[in-house]
Amino acid sequence: MAGRFITFEGGEGCGKTTQIKLLAEYLQKKNVDVVLTKEPGGTPIGQELRKMLCTGDKDKFDAVAEALLYYADRRVHMQQKVLPALNKGEWVISDRFADSTMAYQYYGYNKRLSKEMLNNLYEMTVGNFYPDLTIILDIDPKVGLQRSIARNNQTQANETRHESRETEFHENLRRGFLEIAKTADRYVVLNADVSIEDLHKQIVAVIEKRLF
């Protein structure tokens, strides 16, 4: 079976991590070799970049610097993890990919950067390569932020740089993901404000229809 590249996208607290783990378990039962990864942070270099990007003051970088750091992570991620796994016929599931950069750096920041700049960075670092399937988990930003804050309090995580942004940023982010979803057939938008079990069933149905 050929390798597949599946990406999960969405705002803070939409439940990507939980659903990715459940999907991996489902695929493994079907004898699919699965590689789980994330952006930023899917490689040792990426883990260092993640510390810079996801912790600390929300205003320590401007939008241009952030975009460049995310694409540096992405370039290494593609070369060291994603493409090698796909070439071996493995299915790669990534918690975020380039759609997050467009959503956060373009829509979230209220278009401080141009789409042209971000698309040029994509072409330079990724080329003519796109996920086979992108699942966008959609949720009201207020609900998602409440979930995310509760999770961070439980785990004592310090990756709160994005959660600390103003409500307008998160509302722009949600609109951005929904607009992005209209641009290609590889996108599927699912309502994430349902039970974990119900959402998993919906994701499995999408996978069965699109990739098997």
Helices (H), 43-101: 44-54, 63-77, 83-87, 98-101
Residue 114 — pLDDT band, cuts 50, 70, 90?
very high
With 60 as the cut, is the pLDDT of residue 156 above it? no
Q: What pLDDT does 59 receive? A: 87
| CB 65, CB 113: distance < 8 Å | no
Q: Considering the domain 5-211 in this protein, what is its CATH number?
A: 3.40.50.300
With 80 as the cut, is the pLDDT of residue 18 above it? yes
With 60 as the cut, is the pLDDT of residue 129 above it? yes
User: Which has the closest alpha carbon to 203: 10, 74, 2?
Assistant: 10
